[in-house]
Amino acid sequence: MKFAAALSATLAIAGGGGVHAADRPHNVVIFVADGLRSHIVTPQTAPEMASIRAQGVDFQNSHSLFPTVTTVNGSAIATGHGIGDTGNFGNTLWAAVAPSLASSSTFAGIEDDETLAGMNEHFGGNYLNETSLLAAARSQGFATAAVGKMGPVAEQDVTARKGETLIIDDSTGYPEGIPLTPEVKAALKAAGFDTHAEDRGLNGSAGDYLMSGVHVANVQQQDWFTGVTTKVVLPRLKASGKPFVLVFWSRDPDGTQHGHGDSLNVLQPGINGPTSLAGVRNADNDLKTIREALKALGLADTTDIVVTADHGFSTVSRTSKTSGASRYRFRDVKPGLMPPGFLAIDLAAALKLPLKDNAGLPIDLKGGFHPRGESALLGKDPAHPAIAIADNGGASLVYLPGANAKTFAPKVVSAMLKQDYVGAVFVDDALGAIAGALPMSAVGLIGSARTPRPQIVVSYKSFVMSPCERSEPELCAVDISESGYTEGQGIHGSLSRANTHNFMAAIGPDFKTGFVDPAPVSNADWAPTLAHILGLKMEPKGKLTGRVMAEALPGGMTPAFTAETIRSAKTKAGFQTVLNIQKAEGKVYFDAAGMPGRVVGLKP
């Protein structure tokens, strides 16, 4: 579809300062419902979000960035940049150095405050290499706060470690957490809250293949976060006398969908069962409580609320007819299914390389052990591995640190493509063209990043469960996954449309009412749009920036947009990576990618 006539008007709006820069800027609340699928939101499942979408702006053509995992999209929401610029290629990265004193591993699990501090130390003081919306806001006179899930919350203002931005997450009150000021501690106590964050209680254990996972949503922890937000954080932001930006990152429905106990070793109902739907409602209830608090504080009319999800979601499968990893017997894996770390096991066998865990210790496969933490090193010397593999659920990052990467990469790709669980393969542009794979630049993974860049990124196979009990195939999607979650639980990370189609909506004085936006948008577009609304200056270093969603603002016109398909060369065996994209205002949005027949939502 094209709306060319409106393009010039859109660009004119996007190019100016804040829409009411002469006046006091409005406040902004960014509510992130982790793992919320666009089509799961209805008046029955999530009435508050459905109401915002109906009354405000419905971004129906929304996108998560790939890999479709939390901190990847957290970095995009924070900075407005693509992943090739932020260098946050996954929830787990190979950093080449130990990212914190607490670990000897060279893999960095980004959903951790200590690791984020270590990454900053190792990579120029700000490992993302871009200014975030919250950092820009606080430096330009706004009050700022971020509350909720550990990792993406601190990522919103990753250099703020001393209270510059009020950060409250899972580690609050504990030695590894970002410390609170004495004033905030006193305010928490005065409001009746413990100064130590609540844990997840009965929502915290995902079980295993012999014992089902959780059967309750993450209510215990999120009630604490929501209570602290409405009774301490928002009143303090109002009392500051400044306009403010608040990020609230809800772990649900993600955490509950991952570890739910509704489908022990079976695909149905998967993440459509009662426990996962309770996670959706839990996030919706928290959003309603925050909106009610804004109204009670007299802030509702002057506050924009944007609701977004970092990514979509799928049900886990660990089946394969080709994987040698599934032929071993493991203590925590149902016989016949692939274990966590199956890609590393299969590549080690195919390339005849020693297999070691993420700390460099040998893995005894015959003894019933698989890669710990789902990440692994291949090669004789773990300090100088031939291959480092960082698992990210429905995708994996493959690093080739050796000097011979250009000649080694085709062998690695060839070994991968013999496996039926591979959906799509992307290789570093510097390695040249490899049949069956597309360049990483095609999915925004080549930019100005400071962190080590993987040489190969794999997206795993996805399919629609049969029978599909819901009308939308995206809601019945199943992903092959390297994660520790068992058959029938929840996962994300792949480049299927089920994972890229996140929920996005907005409402408030700076947004249109009752508007359905047909243009492609993504999580990288939030920071430019909100900076435009608030009159903030954000000087980019990299070029992979999002766009101002001017069509969602009063007077804005829908930009022209197009759909395209990119295809790799085929291998002799016929494997081909096909990529569906959309383009608007020079920005690229990724719908789905992979071998036709192996990816949900792919149009070959």
Q: Which tokens belong to 141? A: 């006179």
The pLDDT value recorded for residue 18 is 41
Report residue 50 as tokens: 């459905």
Instruction: State which amino acid sits at residue 342.
Output: F
Q: What are the structure tokens assigned to 294, written together?
A: 């804004």
Residue 175 lies in a domain: yes
Whether residue 516 lies inside any domain: the answer is yes
Task: Return the closest-CA partner of residue 172 out of 215, 232, 216, 131.
Answer: 232
DSSP state, 365?
Answer: T
Write the CATH number for 279. Answer: 3.40.720.10
Instruction: State the Cα angle at 500 between 114 and 580, rounded to 5°.
Output: 130
- Bridge partner residues of 148 (DSSP): 169, 249
Q: Write the CA distances from 361 to 322, 348, 358, 367, 376, integer angstroms.
A: 27, 14, 7, 14, 9
Domain span including residue 210? 25-82+130-313+496-552
Q: Does the residue 450 lie in any domain?
A: no
What confidence tens digit (pLDDT) does each residue in 481-504 have?
999 999 999 999 999 999 999 999
Give the containing element (helix H, strand E) for 8.
helix 7-14
- Domain-embedded: residue 69: yes
Model pTM above 0.85: yes
Beta-carbon neighbour count of residue 564 at 10 Å? 11
In a domain? residue 75: yes
Domain count, the chain: 1
User: Would you say residue 384 lies in a domain?
Assistant: no
Residue with tokens 């900076």: 531
Q: Which two tokens stand for residue 431?
A: 């390695």
Q: Which two tokens stand for residue 202?
A: 């009965």
Asked if 579 and 27 touch (Cβ cutoff 8 Å), the reply is: no
- Is position 465 within any domain? no
| Contact of 561 with 584, CB cutoff 8 Å | yes
265 CB neighbour count, 10 Å cutoff: 14
Position of tokens 């007077």? Answer: 555
- Sequence-distant (6+) residues with CB within 8 A of 361 are none
Q: How far apart are CA 378 and CA 366, in angstroms?
A: 17
Q: Which two tokens stand for residue 4?
A: 């060319």
To which H or E segment does residue 412 belong? helix 405-416
Assigned domain for 592 exists: no
pLDDT < 70 positions in the chain = 1-22
Q: How far apart are CA 47 and CA 49, in angstroms?
A: 6
DSSP annotation of 267: -
Residue type, 358: N
Q: Measure the CA angle with vertex 230, ends 228 and 232; round to 5°.
A: 55
